[in-house]
Amino acid sequence: MVPVRTCIGCRQRAEQDEVVRFAAEGAQVVLDSARRKPGRGAWLHPRRECLDAALKRKAFSRAFRQQVATDQLSFEQLQR
């Protein structure tokens, strides 16, 4: 059974294999492609509209329960 996660952009539930994980390193948000970084994670579909919605709604700060910097995030990171 595959775990189910909620995308912070579109708020739709998806299997863990369909979303990418982000983690907070201090006050910086980083892509956690190996899904091994400690702490809370934020899950996002690898789609531009989900990333845009999450950035617009400040969903990363809410997911990590602290103010985090998201200015370095780009859609191209999700495509790797």
Q: 63 lies in which domain range?
A: 4-78
In whole angstroms, what is the distance from residue 46 CA to residue 7 CA? Answer: 10
pLDDT tens profile 14-42:
999 999 999 999 999 999 999 999 999 99
Which CATH number is 69's domain given? 3.30.1230.10
Phi/psi region, residue 5 (left: phi>0; alpha: psi -120 to 50; beta: rest), is beta
Structural domain tally of the chain? 1
Nearest alpha-carbon partner for 63 in 9, 26, 20: 9
Phi/psi region, residue 65 (left: phi>0; alpha: psi -120 to 50; beta: rest), is left
Task: Give percent of the chain with pLDDT exceeding 90.
Answer: 92
Report the predicted TM-score, pTM, of the whole model to 2 decimal places: 0.92
Q: Collapsing DSSP states into helix, strand and coil, what is residue 1?
A: coil
